[in-house]
Structure 1
């Protein structure tokens, strides 16, 4: 009986491929204990919504720190208070801010995180990530020009079947749409 129980769990019925697939899925969607992970800046567009939903569902107070920049409480003389001087509300907001920074550090791959220019608040990290994704104005213009040129020159490749042509075309249209959406949002 005990050998049968052991074999039920010890056999390698799960392959390395399924373990890797589960890890990728956990990174993409998150779990109840960890937020979705941004593995490359190109995934930002989809990751942003998953991360927002995850934080709002699990740490709503932390989401408020991203919406409104957290500022350390000050004394009457405008000197930053020590943590020991915080009242309960200030302590809760400080804890929520630190939780948000921790969640962002967990959720953003280290290679991306080190490139962000921020002032160590959750809102500044969030905004820096958005800017990193969008790129500078000059970069956005050149991206748009390149996409327009690619669209104007779009033709089938030698030996390409209709299905592949349609897939490439749809991908190009999605990229153009995303570029236009970013332009509208930046206004």
Structure 2
């Protein structure tokens, strides 16, 4: 029994799980990835922190529309070539292109193609936010359902201990993605209640 309990928590992390963790938190080489529009709230904070840590100047281009300089500064005039740009203009242009590239890396393609943007970092960022707000009602419903799922969580007779714990951990991860927080005591108590008491009752009373 002790081995089953240990193995349920200490099973090796697979390559796939490592990839999922990298997608969620990012690495020094790549930003956190948005895989589902419902994850926007948590992802946008992580992504913003990542860009500010590694490419602070580029982050400014999500806050203000970049306009490529033109000859004689005429609106809608012929844009300057890179050779014609000043050093300052070249830096702004490079930061803009970097921010666009980071967003393209960070947003899953099937989400990105739904955004009505003009190709600038600012328009991609604002359209993504608008897309999320548009699905706000759906998100509220999803939160309500997952809270109810947590309240009603129980182990099934057909499940072994590991299956119960795996299903519970997946539920807690989904709650976290939606910004639903529970304190540690409540999380532990809920899992303890879900484990089969004929097997774990005595052990759990000792904790």
User: Given the two structures, how large is their TM-score scaled by the length of structure 2?
Assistant: 0.60
**Secondary structure of 1:70's match?**
coil
**Aligned ranges for residues 38-53 of structure 1 at < 5 Å?**
38-53=34-49
The aligned residue for residue 3 of structure 1 is: none
* Whole-Å separation in 2 of the counterparts to 1:106 and 1:162: 37
C-alpha deviations, 1:119-170, integer Å up to 9, x for none?
11000000010011111xxx65x659x85xx79xxxx8xxx996539x99xx
Cα distance, 1:175 vs structure 2: 8.4
Q: CA deviation at 1:33?
A: 0.6
Alignment match, 1:104: 103
Gaps of 5+ in 2: 1-10, 155-167, 181-207
Partner of 1:61: 57
Contact kept? 2:34, 2:43, Cα under 8 Å: yes
Q: Which residue of 2 aligns with 1:20?
A: 16
**Residue in 1 that maps onto 2:162:** none
Secondary structure at the counterpart of residue 164 of structure 1: coil
Q: 1:41 to 1:35 in 2, by over 3 A?
A: same
How far does residue 99 in structure 1 lie from its aligned partner after superposition? 0.2
**Aligned positions of 1:27-176 closer than 5 A:** 27-76=23-72, 78=74, 79=77, 80-135=79-134, 143=138, 147=141, 164=153
| 3-state SS of 1:37 partner | coil
| SS state at 1:21 partner | helix
The answer (yes or no) to whether the contact 2:31–2:47 under 8 Å persists in 1 is yes
Matched-pair contact (CA < 8 Å) for 2:38–2:132: yes
The number of residues matched between the two structures is: 143
Higher relative contact order by CA 8 Å / sep ≥ 6: 1 or 2? 2
Structure 1 residue runs of 4+, over 2 Å off?
160-165
C-alpha offsets along residues 164-187 of structure 1, whole Å, 9 cap, x if unaligned?
Answer: 39x99xx7xx789xxxxxxxxxxx
Distance 1:40 1:92 in 2: 33
**Inter-partner Cα distance in structure 2 for 1:123 and 1:74:** 19
Q: Quick one: distance in 1 between partners of 2:102 and 2:90? A: 18
Where structure 1 has 5 or more consecutive residues not aligned to the other structure, the ranges are: 1-13, 177-187
**Residues 175 and 161 of structure 1: is their aligned pair in 2 closer, same or farther, counting only changes over 3 Å?**
closer
